[in-house]
Structure 1
């Protein structure tokens, strides 16, 4: 139930969340920009009386002085008989710039507040904020359950894939998102009158004023006693109207000031409700607390990723939900299969077991563990297939099982076997399965064999368990369920170019094509699992599993689907299982592989300059980017090798790219040449030119070893420092990308 409470609102409101959070992230920058432009006097340095006096000296027709939450001073006056608003230096009272609220920022604000739909959109935004509160609270609860308590929230999260990414993002953004959602819900409630608006509790107008001759504003005692940092608004009386008065609003409250006596009239301190409303506005907008606004904005940027991973998790669970196989009634079955599953993946294994048992002549009843009957009169075998949820807990469809065992009265002939599913990265690997196994044993049931624990839904371990069951029950079972078959195809090596043997750094450019089984074009061929070969681009990854390898190795592609080949650049590592395997291939040899997209390492679209940096085999995807640059956008390559005579990778191609202007400049550095140099040296030599390119919006892409990338990053940090930038800033802007190993 809790999972549905978390997931369903998220699915329904994903689009609204994306609009609210991305617009909120944009708006979060505004307070910091305003703060950076504001001139802030020291506390106690300037009173409101002094500020008003200096402003009047420069703007005699001033009608109102406003201090924004970010500290900017805005003066509203009649300049040349025209209403005007200007920003002023509070210390001198002098003109700084015209005050012109950004039309673009106002549009983004309206988008954030109301989806540009007026009050109906504002109501929709309020409802979305309430849903976000619900999602945050349920998400925190689910996260605590998964990690095993509040004390585990800061520990490393085990697991992999979308679920781990979703959990990691949630852990570090949920507090900020909850604050944004709660404050947004409150502000929406105030707007629609659900909660009282403290702004309506203004002081009443004074019944009497002295009516004497006005004195200079700088001599008014009430204004002399107020620090300018406390000012929110000062409204001047009408000119030549001795019965009018000053209206003063500060962080402490609001009141009026007699323009002749300087007496403070009808001052009303800010109520607790008004203070609450003020701080809620600050916490939601960041105005007056610019650094907190940036934190909220940064957290908001995690929402698109949370939405995408959440949708992927939901789809995976939906995909894993198999149509139930017809089961015999529990009272008629000789074999019972009970399933505990949180994400539905365990059901696939259970149904495969059920099908095999039926083929072996068994009468099988399959159900969720919470559907445990009080008795199975004809059953001789009970199988429990269960995952573990969180820190050793029960899945949602098995959370009543242990309690129901108290009412369970099995016949003496009933024997059982427990198969647990989990992930060895978690400290309580298959803990719920262990608990169930122990509870059944204490109930008096006899084990068919000890509990078996399967790591990460391993099809091989499941098959081996089936073989053990077959021996104990003396029946033929061939269990073959694989929830995540590898989407591989067979590729043939058609070309190779070898470099670097003379400098003891063998590096090869290898080109593969899928093995054709028909006359169809290669890109329409089917994979072993009857899936089409996906399209790919330079920078995507080619996964290859070496013989006797436990996991695939990934190599960056230097080609695209349009090239008709999969091209990789591989340096032979002394202890490299896969690199040695690839280097030993001959033309015509075949391998199995798959394509994994890598959209986070791509040149940006557009005409801005692209600076490519690599060393050794890291040149592969960079050469691919240049090959694709048929639009002749400005590209500059910096690459480091060992010796120009033996391992100048892609030298002929790069020279051709220079001639046809797909490449603007090629800068190389060789560590074993007469004049030893590294790619960092080549970059430093062109520091001034590179700084100019980055100032024009250039993007930097770095590919190669981590040590090289760290050195290059340090050089670029120094290069962009005069621009008041850093590599970290460029990375945040998507203008500095790395593919390192």
Structure 2
């Protein structure tokens, strides 16, 4: 419900909200400028201020104090009305009090869209939409995080979806406050609030005299300028008129002949609240808050655009065709790192829907059995990333699954997706199946796996499911080919030929993207070092993935590739010459990259595994502590990135570089140099350091053994570091 409400309001109101928000953001600058140019406040009484102003401008009719502290006097120059900002220290004008044409234009646009009262109702409606979006977004944020207790944890995901979530979290408090205060101000304008305190009745017992000295008026002497709202002077030549004093506490009439207090009325709570809310909404008097709200308003077009892109992509995503979870009899939840598992979910959903079942498809983060009143079965598609790791968007699923009791009458099926060449094949799905068995979940279909996206494995599992359900269908999955881009080689560097380890560093130019492609989110995906490039070799439909050694900000795409015996893709890549192209696409790999912050990072790699580690160092322009341990065969033949590593060490991007050579007179491997540096590694881990490893599985296993020995005396374990996201492998 919250998702549908959030999407509906957002799509309808995007343009209107953008206009109102951008004009509000622009207006937030004026209170800050006013605060900077307002003369310094003086601890003086209203009597002293009025005396000084009257001495400077004898025709003064009114003095006003703005929430920012700015004093404005209204008077006559000849027969023409005039106004000026007053220096309270002297009572003399120091600048114009007029509102600029630009500010007036922005105010009219922001308040009423130049449509007067109808426009005010429209902008009030936009505030209602913002409030609805803020509330529904808060619930979505909690659901995405895995519960209210985790709502402030780091945002998962990547791309436009992650940007939308991050900006939402930052802007939500400001947008919420802006919307609420806008409602109150609109109600005040149209007289919809409870009646406040009325002005006191005009006195009939005036003295009929004039010329009282302001410094002799007790109330004006007792009232400090900080409490002043306005002081209106009697009309010239009218002995029946009075001084009208408005302060934060109320309103008074004062006799102009003897200074007597003729009438007084306390300010009502409505008036006080309205003044406070006006100050909060406009920032006048709290300039820093105005700027915060202005920055929050700037988030609206960003949220509108990213929300639109996510929605448009969702229409092409299998999730978009699913029925609501509270109406479904079949709940199909997916945990996927790179999105391919969603395609299998779409195939199953299509088959089950054709049999008359009502299927809801969603991410694993939406596991909420208590909210599925009509559900009769649950199916989990769990992909395993790397060596047994859960997808980034599903890391909290296991913890949530363990907390939820087994639901009677709601059988469960778990299907794992992975790569059998990894030791922990389908480790994430296996863990889910184990927990389900331990907690007593009824089995819909026995636990099974799909190896390397095999349509045959999937069809076999589907036949067993159809038999269990008493239905007749065949899961004929046709993988959707990813959109690829032609990337030309712009340079290559070759290493390792003399030690039978031919390796190339290949640099590709980024594709040219039109403005329309950028605006519609159909351009080449943004990427960071450590993300993956999928390359489709000639003669195959199955992409091969390589870790990126560069980020989008570097202006090129770079990979490090070792030629494998019989390797279709690596042989084609290492044969490329500058000017030739490949068909490729980018996929995010958010789990493998340095965490945000300044804590130390330990980079460990061997051979072509240096690629993403070099990318992390290249991007370390802030020079956070970063230590590289790197193993190669021989310094004369395959010293990958030797010149760059030396330069990065000198300029601080790499704090230290330690290298092991396995084909020299004194051979050593990367685990050997880790042993020699055990004391420093222990200190780095104790200081909150993160470990990132890239290379072969054998190397990673040897490194893990050494690090476990190094950390055991300090009470650390690799399992704990992995659980905290401080030990991550990218192995092959």
TM-score, normalized by the shorter chain, greater than 0.5: yes
Aligned equivalents of 2:556, 2:144: Cα separation in 1: 40
**Aligned with residue 429 of structure 1, among 375, 397, 402:** 397
Aligned equivalents of 2:571, 2:652: Cα separation in 1: 26
Q: Retained in 2: the 8 A contact 1:190–1:197? A: no
Aligned to 1:352: 347
**Aligned with residue 338 of structure 1, among 307, 330, 342:** 330
**Aligned with residue 286 of structure 2, among 289, 292, 312:** 289
Q: 1:432 to 1:570 in 2, by over 3 A?
A: closer
Q: Trace 1:2-401 onto structure 2 (pairs within 5 A).
A: 2-42=2-42, 45-196=43-194, 198=196, 201-320=198-317, 338-340=330-332, 349-353=344-348, 365-368=355-358, 387-390=363-366, 392-394=367-369, 399-401=372-374
- Which is further off, 545-554 or 202-211? 545-554
| 1:300-322 Cα shifts (integer Å, max 9, x gaps) | 11111111122122222322358
Aligned equivalents of 2:160, 2:408: Cα separation in 1: 30
Aligned equivalents of 1:532, 1:14: Cα separation in 2: 17
Aligned equivalents of 1:507, 1:91: Cα separation in 2: 75
**Aligned with residue 453 of structure 2, among 446, 460, 464:** 460
Aligned equivalents of 1:120, 1:432: Cα separation in 2: 51
Q: Output the aligned Cα RMSD.
A: 5.2
Aligned equivalents of 2:531, 2:395: Cα separation in 1: 33
Q: 1:489 to 1:438 in 2, by over 3 A?
A: farther
Q: Retained in 2: the 8 A contact 1:420–1:451? A: no
Q: 1:293 to 1:580 in 2, by over 3 A?
A: farther
Q: 1:317 to 1:581 in 2, by over 3 A?
A: same
Q: Identify unmatched segments of 5+ residues in structure 1.
A: 326-335, 358-362, 371-384, 406-415, 501-505, 515-521, 525-530, 559-566, 597-615, 621-670, 681-741
Q: Retained in 1: the 8 A contact 2:484–2:585? A: yes
Q: Trace 1:405-554 onto structure 2 (pairs within 5 A).
A: 418-420=380-382, 423-429=391-397, 439-440=410-411, 447-450=444-447, 460=453, 464-466=457-459, 480=477, 482=479, 485-491=481-487, 493=489, 496=491, 544-545=533-534, 549=545, 551-552=547-548
Secondary structure at the residue paired with 1:367? coil
Deviation at 1:194, TM superposition (A): 3.0
**Aligned with residue 583 of structure 2, among 592, 597, 621:** 592
Aligned equivalents of 1:139, 1:148: Cα separation in 2: 14
Secondary structure at the residue paired with 1:215? coil
Aligned equivalents of 1:309, 1:445: Cα separation in 2: 40
Deviation at 1:144, TM superposition (A): 2.2
| 1:399-447 Cα shifts (integer Å, max 9, x gaps) | 2245x68xxxxxxxxxx97545794444432766995799427999655
Aligned equivalents of 1:570, 1:535: Cα separation in 2: 15
Q: 1:60 to 1:445 in 2, by over 3 A?
A: closer
- TM-score normalised by L of structure 2: 0.60
Q: Retained in 1: the 8 A contact 2:334–2:345? A: no
Q: Trace 1:632-647 onto structure 2 (pairs within 5 A).
A: none
Aligned equivalents of 2:356, 2:32: Cα separation in 1: 60
Deviation at 1:367, TM superposition (A): 2.1
Q: Retained in 1: the 8 A contact 2:142–2:151? A: yes
Q: 1:311 to 1:446 in 2, by over 3 A?
A: closer
How many residue pairs are counted as aligned between the two chains? 527
Q: 1:147 to 1:418 in 2, by over 3 A?
A: closer
Secondary structure at the residue paired with 1:300? helix
Aligned equivalents of 1:343, 1:497: Cα separation in 2: 37
Secondary structure at the residue paired with 1:224? helix
Secondary structure at the residue paired with 2:303? helix
Q: 1:481 to 1:306 in 2, by over 3 A?
A: farther
| 1:215-260 Cα shifts (integer Å, max 9, x gaps) | 2212211100000111111111122333221111111111111122
| 1:269-290 Cα shifts (integer Å, max 9, x gaps) | 1101111111111121111111
Q: 1:498 to 1:154 in 2, by over 3 A?
A: closer
Q: Identify unmatched segments of 5+ residues in structure 2.
A: 323-327, 384-389, 413-438, 496-502, 515-519, 536-542, 563-568, 588-613, 619-645, 654-732
Aligned equivalents of 1:134, 1:213: Cα separation in 2: 57
Aligned equivalents of 1:532, 1:146: Cα separation in 2: 23
| 1:592-622 Cα shifts (integer Å, max 9, x gaps) | 33489xxxxxxxxxxxxxxxxxxx999x9xx
Deviation at 1:125, TM superposition (A): 0.7
Q: Trace 1:563-582 onto structure 2 (pairs within 5 A).
A: 568=556
Aligned equivalents of 2:556, 2:396: Cα separation in 1: 41
Aligned equivalents of 2:494, 2:100: Cα separation in 1: 58
Q: Retained in 1: the 8 A contact 2:188–2:274? A: no
- TM-score normalised by L of structure 1: 0.60
Deviation at 1:150, TM superposition (A): 2.7
Aligned equivalents of 2:147, 2:521: Cα separation in 1: 44
- Which is further off, 433-442 or 460-469? 433-442
Q: Retained in 1: the 8 A contact 2:85–2:97? A: yes
Q: Retained in 2: the 8 A contact 1:25–1:296? A: yes
Aligned equivalents of 2:54, 2:523: Cα separation in 1: 71
Aligned equivalents of 2:313, 2:521: Cα separation in 1: 20
Q: Retained in 2: the 8 A contact 1:245–1:256? A: yes
Aligned equivalents of 2:228, 2:441: Cα separation in 1: 78
Q: 1:247 to 1:573 in 2, by over 3 A?
A: farther
Q: Retained in 1: the 8 A contact 2:318–2:345? A: no
Q: 1:533 to 1:17 in 2, by over 3 A?
A: closer
